[in-house]
């Protein structure tokens, strides 16, 4: 059963990432993630980040491994948001979770079961362990290209908000 496989992968990911006080991780029949008996919507901002990452990866990984219909790639934007790297810090989650665990899992999975998959991650501060996989680094300095991802956002006249 597909939901069972996704559910198992979701639980496994949260365990690998040392999700604090992990209990009752599950994906319901509507594909909504839960933990500790509550929907992910009830979790703190940092916890929601991790639950969403585990949810997205579980669905994508199972789809790839079973050759199910899926988009050709998975794009993840700001996996460290609310974990102490940009955005609001969630101290309980940020202190308990190493983003390295996320990247270790992904690196290992892509080298094995996900060898035919493509994952694009946009991250302001990827850990050193994935440095060799970084394709583009933006400077955040308009005088040192590349500055930012979206051209019109980096060159637009501030007086003209087009």
Query: What one-character-per-residue DSSP string does 103-118 give?
Result: HHHHHHHHHTTTTT--
pLDDT at 123: 87
Contact 38, 64 (CB under 8 A): no
pLDDT digits (tens, 9 = 90+) for 65-75: 999 999 889 99
Distances in whole angstroms, Cα of residue 135 to Cα of each of 63, 68, 123, 125: 25, 28, 11, 13
- The HSE-up count of residue 55 (CA atoms within 13 Å, CB side) is 19
Residue 129 · residue 100 · CB < 8 Å: yes
Q: How far apart are the first and last CA of the chain?
A: 49
Contact call for residues 17 and 101 (beta carbons, < 8 A) = yes
Q: Both tokens of residue 14?
A: 């949260």
Q: For position 4, what pLDDT does the model report?
A: 92
**Neighbouring residues of 50: CB distance < 8 A, sequence distance ≥ 6:** 14, 17, 19, 83, 93, 97
Bridge partners, 75 (sequence order):
120
For residue 12, what pLDDT is reported? 96
Q: Residue 35: which H helix or E strand, with range?
A: strand 33-35
Task: Say whether pLDDT at 156 is over 50.
Answer: no
pLDDT band at 61 (very low <50, low <70, confident <90, very high): very high
pLDDT tens digits for range 8-20: 999 999 999 888 8
| pLDDT greater than 90 at residue 124 | no
* Angle, helix 2-16 to helix 99-111, in steps of 10 degrees: 130
Structure tokens belonging to residue 152: 């019109």
pTM for this entry: 0.80
- % of the chain surpassing 70 pLDDT: 82
């Amino acid at each position: 059963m597909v939901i069972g496989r996704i559910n198992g992968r979701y639980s496994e990911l949260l365990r690998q990432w040392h999700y604090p006080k992990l209990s009752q991780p599950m994906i319901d029949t509507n594909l909504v993630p839960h933990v500790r008996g509550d929907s992910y919507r009830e979790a703190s901002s940092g916890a929601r980040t991790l639950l969403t990452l585990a949810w997205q990866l579980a669905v994508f990984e199972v789809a790839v491994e079973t050759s199910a219909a899926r988009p050709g790639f998975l794009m993840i934007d700001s996996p460290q948001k609310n974990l102490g790297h940009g955005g609001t810090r969630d101290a309980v989650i940020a202190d308990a979770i190493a983003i390295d665990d996320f990247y270790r899992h992904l690196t290992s999975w892509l080298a094995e079961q996900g060898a035919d998959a493509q994952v694009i991650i946009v991250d302001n501060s990827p850990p050193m362990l994935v440095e060799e996989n970084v394709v583009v680094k933006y400077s955040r300095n308009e005088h040192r290209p590349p500055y930012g991802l979206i051209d019109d956002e980096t060159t637009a006249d501030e007086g003209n908000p087009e």
